[in-house]
């Protein structure tokens, strides 16, 4: 009777996962550079594979499409932004003006820290899959804003003629990523954008 096959070493699976994660990160980093240099449409999967030093089929097997890579890039930004902790901090602030200033500061950081990735997302907005992701992100942004608006209302800081839903829509429109890039096109600094956003929110909501 033959001896049983030796058990697979316990570290094999974690090692494979570690290598897969490293490959995934390398692909995203390569795509980020190429999207910034060439734009979404002009960047091919083959170019991404070459920059990442992997085979083209590996990119497809890992992500499936360029749009999925954009999604991964934006997911990274969200994870690094500390959005939930910022939301709690903003809601806990008792002064309404300070609450809006904190929100403007958070958004400025979110956009500025991932400027090239947000630009890639805008550039890719003609892709149907990216368009779906954009719609989903917009819904999430409004959902995230809702408790902040509720906290303003509970503090008596909303204009009497505004419902909470109206206030969320106004805040969301002013927070549009496109307005951040429009401000940059005008030569505004990030400080100027943040100040404008805080002031505009106060005027529209109070």
Going by the DSSP 8-state scheme, the letter that residue 54 receives in this structure is S
> What SS3 state is found at 127?
coil
What is the number of structural domains in the chain? 2
Q: Which domain holds residue 191?
A: 82-205
Residues 137 and 188 in one domain: yes
Quote the CA–CA distance of 87 and 145 in Å, as a whole number: 8
Supply the pLDDT for residue 118: 87
**Domain assignment present for 69:** no
**Domain assignment present for 70:** no
> Mean pLDDT per 10-residue run, the chain (206 residues)?
53 79 93 89 94 95 92 86 88 90 94 86 83 87 91 91 94 94 96 97 94
Task: Tell me the whole-structure pTM to 2 decimals.
Answer: 0.80
Residues 103 and 185 in one domain: yes
Residues 87 and 59 in one domain: no
Quote the CA–CA distance of 120 and 17 in Å, as a whole number: 28
Contacts of 32 (CB under 8 A, 6+ apart): 73, 116, 117, 120
Residues 60 and 89 in one domain: no
Whether residue 44 contacts residue 75, with contact meaning beta carbons closer than 8 Å, is answered with no
Quote the CA–CA distance of 189 and 170 in Å, as a whole number: 23
Quote the CA–CA distance of 206 and 189 in Å, as a whole number: 26
Supply the pLDDT for residue 24: 92
Whether residue 144 contacts residue 84, with contact meaning beta carbons closer than 8 Å, is answered with no
Supply the pLDDT for residue 8: 54
Q: Which residue has the tokens 């994660």?
A: 21
> What SS3 state is found at 12?
helix
Residues 91 and 16 in one domain: no
Residues 25 and 53 in one domain: yes
Supply the pLDDT for residue 125: 79
């Amino acid at each position: 009777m033959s001896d049983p096959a030796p058990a697979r070493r316990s570290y094999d699976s974690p090692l494979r996962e570690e290598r897969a994660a490293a490959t995934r990160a390398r692909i995203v980093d390569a795509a980020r550079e190429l999207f910034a240099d060439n734009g979404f449409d002009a960047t091919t999967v083959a170019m991404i594979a070459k920059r990442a030093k992997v085979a083209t089929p590996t990119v497809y097997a890992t992500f499936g499409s360029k749009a999925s890579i954009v999604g991964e890039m934006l997911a990274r930004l969200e994870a690094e932004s500390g959005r939930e902790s910022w939301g709690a901090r903003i809601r806990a602030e008792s002064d309404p003006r300070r609450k809006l200033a904190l929100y403007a500061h958070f958004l400025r950081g979110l956009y500025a820290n991932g400027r090239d990735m947000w630009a890639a997302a805008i550039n890719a907005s003609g892709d149907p899959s990216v368009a779906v992701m954009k719609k989903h992100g917009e819904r999430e942004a409004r959902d995230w804003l809702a408790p902040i608006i509720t906290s303003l209302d509970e503090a008596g800081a909303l204009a009497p003629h505004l419902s909470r839903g109206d206030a969320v829509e106004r805040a969301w429109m002013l927070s549009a990523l496109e307005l951040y890039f429009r401000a940059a096109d005008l030569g505004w600094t990030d400080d100027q954008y943040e100040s404008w956003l805080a002031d505009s929110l106060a005027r529209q909501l109070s």
